Amino acid sequence: MQVTLSQFIAAVVVEDGGDASQRGRVSGGAPIFYVRDQAERQRLCLLLEKVLLATPHDLQNGISILVVH
Amino acid sequence: MEYVPAIVAAVLSGTWTRWFMLRVDYRQYPSYPEGYTIHLAMGFIAAFLGAMALPAILSHHYEAATFLALAATQFREVRSLERDSLAAMEETELVHRGSAYIEGIARTFEARNYLAMLASLLSSLAAVLARAWWPSPFVSFGAGLGIGMGGGFLMAHGGRGRRVGDVALVEVAPLEFEGPLLKVAGVIVMNVGLDSARRTLQEKGLGAVIRPHDADARATLANLGQRQAIAHDCAVLLGIHKDVDEPEFTPLVRRNSDTGEVVVVIVPDKKEPEALLTAIRHVPLLEAAIRKPTEATAGRMAQRERE
């Protein structure tokens, strides 16, 4: 029998604008990736999507989450 | 020898009925030759049992009735066989059928054997009666075949069940974005995080809204199994622009809780709105999903409150 996990956050992608002090905005159990700007966030989301088979969702505050549905 | 024309006519018309119903239903069937063989063989057995019943009883072999009971057990096997094989294949489908659809298909396959049996019973009855009235084996055979096939045809058509298009109005609806939120007919369908995915959805995606005619249709369309069936059928019939690493292009069917309207979003191979509407209208209403709240007093009272 195959067991799979679903409905969980596989990764979090956060824009910090190159400013390490911004990193306090997000923490928690999922892997967190810091990126410089919007373009890099889009790029990383696409790359992670292909690896994790997870759907990127934009939280509109400079943070994207990848969720396995 | 007396009943040979009746039995032959009945077996032929019963098997023909089963074959006819296999043909009608191309969509629900994975259509490999093995599948056809299995179901035709079962149909033949059903037809044979139906054909033998009446002549056996007329020759005072009343135990023939027990064979019909045996047949019923056999055909229940068909249902679980069909359910198991479809459930096993579910993992290989880009867009799942859903357990409600699988159960519906399995039940249909079981029921069709009974219909084949009924058609052959009807046929043998007609053949025996015709023989009593006009003592010629050819008349008996002809009457049996005609009545059996006619009855089988009517049963196959009468047993088709209703479709989404019978209980709801299906219309095209544009895909709209509000930030990352994909909206169709005012319903938020999902949050699309990637700009590139948003572009693809806007260029190639199609949306439709299903407006139920009444409270019964609203309740039926709310069923998750029914909605998954809609997504699956649309994906199969229109083709789908998606692979496992593009989860955001999964066809989605979401409900407007205020109105009971259901919206569909799909990225098909080819953007053909009319094809989508036709596909949705032809999705069968699943037995497991059909609800009729207005048949009960409480349901009708709730309905009055609503209006």
What pLDDT does residue B26 have?
47
Predicted local confidence at residue A31, as pLDDT: 93
Mind telling me how many Å the CA of A47 is from chain B's nearest CA?
Answer: 10
- CA torsion, ordered B109, B111, B114, B115, to nearest 10 deg: -90
B180 near A CB under 8 A:
yes
Of B179, B194, B244, the CB nearest to A56: B194
- Global pTM value: 0.87
Query: Edge-to-edge strand order for the sheet containing A55-58?
Result: A32-35, A8-15, A63-68, A55-58
- What residues of chain A lie within 8 A of the CB of B197, using their CB? 56
pLDDT in tens, B203-256: 999 999 999 999 999 999 999 999 999 999 999 889 999 888 889 999 999 999
Burial B2-26 (b: 16+ CB within 10 A, else e): ebebbbbbbbbbbbbbbbbbbeebe
Kindly state whether B248 is in contact with chain A, defined as any CB-CB distance less than 8 angstroms.
yes
* Domain range summary for chain B, segments of one domain joined by +: 4-158, 165-294+301-306
Chains A–B, number of C-beta pairs less than 8 Å apart: 43
Whether B201 and B277 have beta carbons less than 8 Å apart is answered as: no
Q: Are B248 and A58 in contact (CB < 8 Å)?
A: no
CA distance B150 to B159: 14
CA pair distance B159, B24, nearest whole angstrom: 11
Q: Residue B165: which of B280, B9, B41 has the closest Cα? A: B280
B158 touches chain A (CB under 8 A): no
Whether residue A42 and residue B245 make contact (CB cut-off 8 A), yes or no, is no
The answer to whether B246 contacts chain A (CB < 8 Å) is: yes
**Average pLDDT for consecutive 10-residue bins of chain B (307 residues)?**
87 91 60 77 90 88 82 84 87 89 88 91 92 86 92 85 92 94 94 93 95 93 94 91 90 93 94 94 90 88 75
Do B161 and B29 contact (CB within 8 A), yes or no? no
List the single residue in B179, B245, B247 with the smallest CB-CB distance to A60.
B179
